[in-house]
Amino acid sequence: MRTASFHSRSSNSNGNHPVSSFSLSLLFLLLASVSASGTVPKAMSKPATGNFDRGPVIPTTPLVTFLEHVQETALATFGQKDFDPKLYVDLSLKSNLSTTVTAFHKLPRNATGSVSIPDFKEFMHEYFDGAGNDLVYAEPPDFVPEPDGFLPKVKNPQVRAWALEVHALWKNLSRRVSCSVSERPEFHTLLPLPGPVVIPGSRFREVYYWDSYWVIRGLLASKMYKTAKAIVTNLIYLIDTYGYVLNGARAYYTNRSQPPLLSAMVYDIYNRTGDLDLVKKALPALLKEHQFWNSGIHKVNVQDNRGRNHTLSRYYAMWNKPRPESSTTDKVHASKLLNASEKEQFYRELASVAESGWDFSTRWMRNTSDFTTLAITSILPVDLNIFILKMELDIVSMAQIVGDNKTVESFLKSAQARKEAIDSVFWNEENGQWLDYWISNGTGSQVIA
């Protein structure tokens, strides 16, 4: 078994562990006393491996299921050239679903299942609004062409001009969800959100979780604090509604999350604005998110060679079918597999890699030349557990801000335990780096490509 080696993005040249850059001084003193270990642990409980998928599945909506059929027909009709499967699951209905389904089944088809291009285009025009039409433009309330104190260290006129061009893009990417989504949610795969949004752009017409972290970093540089707070408010709304932040604000993304960076967003905004109300609002949601990543399918227990037990986290999507936004593509890859149970496990791995945000990388493959050997549910990723450690330290800081001493005490212990686990499980003294930890058949290994 092979996997690419991984250096934490926040590690530094003198070999210090990456968590130090995340810690407040008091917490760093608490956690830095734990020494690194080169022991290779063994699994106490392991992910489902082999060809039998036993994980949970969150059902999708009838509209999403129907739009996958439309997607398949569109591919058969138009062919592979310039085909974007996501386009079809982002459409919204003009009429109710049963009427649209009836009209779809009445379309004349040839032996291959394709519809003539004129007939299909007429059907699409009559029964669907275009992808993205359920988002409307929203003027950012805090945008100015050149904010006071904008990038003060950038002196070169050409570089400043370029930076201001990038800054101006916020106006192009600002949206809000149309009222029609709340009024007739069954007509849309887009999910309602309480505040304005910033979208990635192009074919990505909705909010995404870990994209939002980088968006907020940029918004803070642009002094757009109201817009940044609105994004966080939307993510908190998703936790309150679903129990976790979704991969993205679409009905077909409800079965997975993405790297848990909400606490970092809240903490960064608080450091710029001192907004105590935001911290008070966010803290209960962050406790829910922490529970999501540290229980059930995301939780894995390991025991190191010293007999010490540790709890760490993994990516694990609640889905074992083709991803609706890439259904036709996923089915092509899965066609190489022999039976339904192998395909279900492969689909689980695909969705779980999408949860990681690293979709796709040989980092997650048992055989780097075979895409169907994705095995992320059998991996404890270094970066995910660093993100969760950061979350725990952020929760401590926010609990201190609001005077919640019980939460401070509890999460200090959680952070210390995770730091010990990171040192014991991921750190490889011989190679001087952190390695993902693979679980296979009850045994663990750290392997460099």
Nearest to 2 by CA among 308, 346, 419, 364: 364
| pLDDT tens-digit readout, 103-162 | 999 999 988 878 999 999 999 999 999 999 999 999 999 999 999 999 999 999 999 999
Amino acid 111: pLDDT: 86
Query: How far apart (Å, rounded) are the C-alpha atoms in residues 192 and 250?
Result: 9
Does residue 21 carry a pLDDT above 80?
Answer: no
pTM (whole model) above 0.85: yes
Q: Which of the two residues, 60 and 42, has the higher pLDDT score?
A: 60
Residue 50's pLDDT band (cuts 50, 70, 90): very low
Nearest to 193 by CA among 146, 128, 121, 135: 135
Nearest to 347 by CA among 318, 370, 313: 318
Buried b (16+ CB within 10 A) or exposed e, 179-192: ebbeeeeebbbbbb
Work out the mean pLDDT of the chain and round it to a whole number: 88
Amino acid 305: pLDDT: 73
Residue 31's pLDDT band (cuts 50, 70, 90): very low
Architecture of the 18-57+297-445 domain: Alpha/alpha barrel (1.50)
Domain residue ranges of the chain, discontinuous segments joined by +:
18-57+297-445, 63-129
Query: How far apart (Å, rounded) are the C-alpha atoms in residues 97 and 104?
Result: 10
Residue 52's pLDDT band (cuts 50, 70, 90): low
| pLDDT tens-digit readout, 338-377 | 999 999 999 999 999 999 999 999 999 999 999 999 999 9
Pairing type for strands 128-129 and 92-93 reads: antiparallel
